[in-house]
């Protein structure tokens, strides 16, 4: 499924984010930037040790990465030249500004991509694995944040923002959220 927002193509696909031919893929990292399970582990395995080395340098220089913020490293051996590491919120029942923190993770990642002059970026479904965010709600927040970012008058640089959903169920949730956004409220 795909729609155009401003001059940017927004695409939803099912697949493995480590295999995407885009300029940057986004990692659902943890605040320690240590690499872990889920998509984080898959990206570090596929990209090799150069990603971890840069993450550890960032950790030494900047400390922990708070939820909602993002940093950029090499893509190592990946097809993608860069990995943007962001930290989503851990689900605690929906209070505590978790939607806003999740939106901020997407926004910060897109800002970094834009600041590096990148044209194509792929996201996984941040926070909906180990961090427990319900996927239907996360899909609405994620797509809303991306749409808001791409709708800014100055937000015209990105050619494609791709969501790479691992499971058919997740793809369905994102498709439904996108359909819900497209129709008048």
3-state secondary structure of 161: strand
Tell whether residue 35 is a contact of ligand ADP (CB under 6 A).
Answer: no
Q: Applying CB under 6 A, which of residues 2, 16, 21, 53 lies at the interface with ligand ADP? A: 16
SS3 26: strand
Least distance from C-beta 135 to ligand ADP, angstroms? Answer: 7
Under rule CB under 6 A, residue 130 binds ligand ADP: yes
- How big is the CA angle at 169 (ends 164 and 174), to the nearest 5 degrees? 55
| CA-based nearest residue to 24, from 102, 125, 110, 147 | 110
**Which CB atom, from 85 or from 147, has the smaller least distance to ligand ADP?**
85
Query: Which CB atom, from 46 or from 118, has the smaller least distance to ligand ADP?
Result: 46
Q: Is residue 59 a contact partner of residue 66, using CB atoms and an 8 Å limit? A: no
Q: Is residue 54 part of the contact set for ligand ADP (CB under 6 A)?
A: no
Using rule CB under 6 A, residue 124 touches ligand ADP: yes
């Amino acid at each position: 499924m795909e729609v155009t927002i401003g001059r940017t193509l927004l695409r939803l696909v099912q697949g493995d984010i480590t295999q995407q031919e885009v300029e940057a893929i986004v990692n659902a990292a943890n605040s320690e930037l240590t690499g872990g399970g889920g998509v984080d582990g898959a990206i570090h395995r596929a990209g090799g040790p150069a990603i971890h080395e840069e993450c550890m340098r960032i950790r030494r220089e900047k400390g922990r990465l708070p939820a909602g913020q993002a940093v950029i490293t090499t893509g190592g051996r990946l097809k993608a030249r860069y990995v943007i590491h962001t930290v989503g919120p851990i689900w605690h029942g929906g209070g505590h500004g978790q939607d806003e923190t999740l939106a901020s993770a997407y926004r910060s990642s897109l800002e970094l991509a834009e600041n590096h002059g990148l044209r194509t970026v792929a996201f996984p479904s941040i926070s909906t694995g180990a961090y427990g965010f319900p996927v239907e709600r996360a899909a609405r927040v994620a797509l809303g944040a991306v749409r808001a970012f791409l709708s800014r008058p100055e937000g015209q640089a990105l050619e494609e923002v791709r969501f790479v959903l691992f499971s058919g169920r997740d793809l369905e949730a994102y498709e439904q959220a996108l359909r819900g956004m497209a129709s008048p409220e």
